[in-house]
Every structure is written in structure tokens, then in C-alpha cells.
């Protein structure tokens, strides 16, 4: 049997996920620096990096990657932060993720597959996948 999660822990986790979605870089970094796992995931397997990337917050993505976040960690659907950023057209996030070691071939669909799907030749060139 598993115990029900502590409501205060759930409330704090929800707040931290919201900080990632909103791009609140300083607050997010402070929580991670204070001990919140940098690869904390929600019930869908989305990490803080995934949420920040998908919502277009390059500075938050960079801060999380600097603190050791996994740039390639896929969610429960096999999607990576880089593929999400390609899908959303977030160029600054794409650059931050690549600088942080994101693999354009990781995930399903991968960032390369997503760039092909949307005919983004400049991204395919950036990924070395023309």
C-alpha cells in the first residue's frame, strides 16, 4: 500500500511547476538551489525543463540546465523539451537546449522529426539533419 501524498507537498510541487510554466527563473532557481529535484516531474512525466521550454522561457530553461537538469528527459508520451520547443517555434529555447546538450534525435517524435513535419529547413540544418 502506498500512502496518500502530503497535501502540502502536492501544493508546493504545483507551485514549482507553475513557476516553470510562467518562466519565473529566479524563484525556480532558488527552489532548486534549496533542494527541490531539478528533474522533478509531474503526473504526465513533464519535467521543469519541459514546462519552461514548452512555454517559451529560455532563461528558465538555461537556469535549470546549469543546475544539472536532463535536457533529453522525455515525458510519458516520449516527447522531449527540444521537440516541444520546435513544435512551438521557440528559437531562443531551442538554442538554450542545444547549448545544454539536448539531442535533436531523442524522443518520439524527435526534434528532427518535428522540424521535418513543419518543414523547418533552418532547424534541420542547425541539427545537422538536412
What digits encode the pLDDT tens for the residues 108-130?
999 999 999 999 999 999 998 65
- The rounded distance, in Å, linking the Cα atoms of 116 and 119 is 5
Residue pLDDT, tens place only, 71-87:
999 999 999 999 999 99
Verdict on whether the full-model pTM lies above 0.85: yes
Domains of the chain: 7-126 (1.25.40.20)
DSSP-derived secondary structure for 27-83: HHHHHHHTT--TT-B-TT--BHHHHHHHTT-HHHHHHHHHTT--TT---TTS--HHH
What 8-state DSSP symbol labels residue 130? -
**Is the confidence at residue 38, as pLDDT, over 60?**
yes
Amino acid at each position: 500500500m502506498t500512502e496518500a501524498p502530503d497535501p502540502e507537498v502536492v501544493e508546493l510541487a504545483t507551485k514549482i511547476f507553475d513557476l516553470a510554466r510562467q518562466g519565473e527563473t529566479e524563484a525556480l532557481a532558488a527552489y532548486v538551489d534549496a533542494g527541490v529535484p531539478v528533474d522533478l516531474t509531474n503526473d504526465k512525466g513533464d519535467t521543469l525543463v519541459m514546462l519552461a521550454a514548452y512555454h517559451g522561457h529560455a532563461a528558465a530553461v538555461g537556469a535549470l540546465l546549469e543546475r544539472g537538469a536532463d535536457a533529453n528527459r522525455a515525458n510519458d508520451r516520449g516527447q522531449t523539451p527540444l521537440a516541444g520547443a520546435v513544435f512551438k517555434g521557440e528559437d531562443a529555447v531551442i538554442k538554450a537546449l542545444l547549448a545544454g546538450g539536448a539531442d535533436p534525435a531523442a524522443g518520439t517524435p524527435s526534434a528532427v522529426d518535428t522540424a521535418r513535419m513543419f518543414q523547418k529547413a533552418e532547424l534541420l540544418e542547425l541539427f545537422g539533419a538536412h
